[in-house]
Structure 1
Amino acid sequence: MDLVRHLRLFVVVAEERHFGRAAERLGMAQPPLSQRIRRLEAELDARLFDRDSRGVRLTEAGAVLLAESRDLLDRVERTRSLVTRAARGELGELRVGVPPEVPGAVLATIVRRFAADSPEVRLDLRELTTTEQVRLLTDRELDVGLLQQPADLTGLTEGPGVDTPVGAVVPRDSALAGRDRLALADLAGHDLVLFPRATAPGRYDATLKACQDNGFRPSRVAHAASPEFACGLVLAGRGVALAPDRTARHEPRVVWRPLVDDPVVWRMSFAWPDSPHPAAERLCHTAIRVLRDDGTSRPVVPARDAPAPWDVVYHRVP
């Protein structure tokens, strides 16, 4: 027996105090309604109504059931609503991997905007390298990640991303700083400052290959995980750094110079496991809007048929 359905019918009869009016309100014939109430009474082994020619009135057992039924049906509806909202990604927790290079101001804006759109979804943000994110996404211990590409996405789905041209960070008093743009070959003879390979092996190897293919073969590579440390190594004469322009924003003794024809472009893209968290796509949409609106980006639509409105890549305007 569908107890919830029978309780709903019972509540209407109890409120109308008449089977005919209750049946009309429910949009059903009176005989089936009477049969279901009798079935409910048999199930509960209790008489719920006293019947006479003028209508029905609740018994003591019926009065108790009415009070309990209303509470139970309210809870059923609340549960149904919560489950539906959770399935749409409007409730719960979203575990998100973020690489250390994402600027704090950008991250804060993404969090604020997502909270405005999805106030009852809690973001569990984790600062993780691409290598760590791929492992956790594969093990389904992470719902969505922002990965430094290229990366092995076997078993994962790649979503939208951002492209950032890389330039050279050099001392302000160096000869290289006097040029508006630099070719990679102009860096020949200098050592290189770059992020540690373990954080994003694919990007690291692709960057070194681009250097070699364009006439820059550094004899030594010094590693810096943070912009501050990278600038410190540059100022200490340990090499020139390849990095986005934000690396040099807070150190007045170094300058960032774009590279001719953008031979090195670093891509970050979202990825998630199969059967993704229902809020994952919404977070990606929010993050891409933030990156689009930061005043330094323009949309680049991938070459595909009928792209989704949010599925775009953004490229910083030099």
Structure 2
Amino acid sequence: MYHLRYFVTVAEELNFSQAARKLHMAASPLSQRIKNLEHELGQQLFRRSTHRVELTEAGAALLPIARDVLERFNAIPWRLREAVGPQRRTVLVGVPAALHPDLRARLQELEERCRDSYDLKRWPGTTGDLVTEVHDGRLGLALVRLPVADPALHVAEVLTEPLGAVLPAGQFAGRASVRLADLADMAYVPGPGDSLPASFDKIDTELREAGVRKRVKMPRTDYAGVAEMVSSGLGFSISMLDPESPIHRYSLGDIVVLPFDDFAPQLVTGLIWRRDRAREGAELHRLIEQASAVFGIESDISPV
């Protein structure tokens, strides 16, 4: 199974160094594991050159087989729980940082509705980690920051939050809004790298295209650290406009959050689950029916 995981990761990245980072290992042992798999199967799976990695015909044929095997292997824990578990199941629900109070209230409503059948426990994490945990069956559901692209998962939008510019109050006193041109000479301070949604990559690109080219990146900081940098005048950041958002607890007295006049960045939150766990008769069928009602979404629940 480990060798198949290594193979699939390299096949998806087509880069041994990037695949090794994703697998939290060095490139040299990863390359050796792939050679071991090739020897065991009696087939060359990759064509390697100095600047390029390509799947061979055998590698391309193995990829869907390996994915299917890994899918089935990852499903063993929750399928076993489904077969022998208690009538009232404990289900972990993933939640990202700074979850909007409206979504937190809906989670509480879901907990109440399902109390007789499910004991729901919240599990915090970054979107990348939560998507992996749902895919592998360790989490039943998760609220995550979109976009998410995984054909095994059902993804439904549940909330769109407008974003604004987080600015030093002294420089923008009396302003009701801001334009991108006002920020051209300032440095953009992204949020914490390990928790920043993928949608912020697009925002970063759009800022560069608009002429905001300076960056201040602090790899070990948190939201409070970003607020301190903005407060001291080192730059600006982007965050939720809604004052009800819990992210505003990190705000300082000399910081202001203003809407843009000529830019409309958004943060979209979605609810995700594995499609096969929602089918009629499956472990989470009733839970996802209730979640769909609480969050007002189409569930795509279908018979087995």
Tell me which interval the TM-score lies in, with the shorter structure as reference length: 0.5 to 0.7
Among 106, 129, 134, the residue aligned to 2:126: 129
Post-superposition shift, 1:116? Answer: 2.8
User: How far, CA to CA, are the matches of 2:265 and 2:274 in structure 1?
Assistant: 28
User: How far, CA to CA, are the matches of 1:225 and 1:165 in structure 2?
Assistant: 24
Post-superposition shift, 1:233? Answer: 1.9
Secondary structure of the 1:170 match is strand
Aligned residues: 203
1:166 corresponding residue in structure 2: 163
User: How far, CA to CA, are the matches of 1:188 and 1:272 in structure 2?
Assistant: 41
CA contact (8 A) 1:131 1:200 kept: no
CA contact (8 A) 1:191 1:218 kept: yes
Larger radius of gyration: 1
Normalising by structure 2, what TM-score?
0.58
1:94 corresponding residue in structure 2: 91
Structure 1 spans left out of the alignment, 5+ residues: 1-82, 289-308, 313-318
- Counterparts in 2 of 1:100 and 1:138: CA distance versus 1, 3 Å: same
CA contact (8 A) 2:160 2:267 kept: yes
Instruction: Trace 1:166-245 onto structure 2 (pairs within 5 A).
Output: 166-174=163-171, 176-200=172-196, 202-222=198-218, 226-245=222-241
User: How far, CA to CA, are the matches of 2:222 and 2:291 in structure 1?
Assistant: 26
User: How far, CA to CA, are the matches of 1:265 and 1:239 in structure 2?
Assistant: 20
Post-superposition shift, 1:260? Answer: 1.8
Identity among equivalent positions (%) equals 21
Post-superposition shift, 1:202? Answer: 2.0
Post-superposition shift, 1:263? Answer: 2.7
- Please report the RMSD computed on the Cα atoms of aligned residues, expressed in angstroms: 3.0
| Matching residue's letter, 2:297 | W
| Matching residue's letter, 1:255 | V
Post-superposition shift, 1:282? Answer: 2.2
Structure 2 spans left out of the alignment, 5+ residues: 1-81, 279-283, 300-304
Instruction: Trace 1:1-318 onto structure 2 (pairs within 5 A).
Output: 91-103=88-100, 105-106=101-102, 108-120=104-116, 121-174=118-171, 176-200=172-196, 202-222=198-218, 226-245=222-241, 246=245, 247-248=247-248, 250-275=251-276, 276=278, 277-278=284-285, 279-286=287-294, 288=295, 310-311=297-298
User: How far, CA to CA, are the matches of 1:229 and 1:214 in structure 2?
Assistant: 26
Normalising by structure 1, what TM-score?
0.56
Post-superposition shift, 1:154? Answer: 3.4
Secondary structure of the 2:170 match is coil
CA contact (8 A) 2:166 2:258 kept: yes
CA contact (8 A) 1:183 1:260 kept: yes
| Matching residue's letter, 2:133 | L
| Matching residue's letter, 2:98 | E
Secondary structure of the 2:297 match is coil
- Counterparts in 2 of 1:134 and 1:310: CA distance versus 1, 3 Å: closer
Post-superposition shift, 1:130? Answer: 0.6
- Counterparts in 2 of 1:187 and 1:221: CA distance versus 1, 3 Å: farther
User: How far, CA to CA, are the matches of 1:145 and 1:311 in structure 2?
Assistant: 16
CA contact (8 A) 2:94 2:141 kept: yes
- Counterparts in 2 of 1:126 and 1:195: CA distance versus 1, 3 Å: same
Secondary structure of the 1:96 match is strand
- Counterparts in 2 of 1:112 and 1:269: CA distance versus 1, 3 Å: closer
- 1:30-66 CA-partner distances (Å, limit 9, x unpaired): xxxxxxxxxxxxxxxxxxxxxxxxxxxxxxxxxxxxx
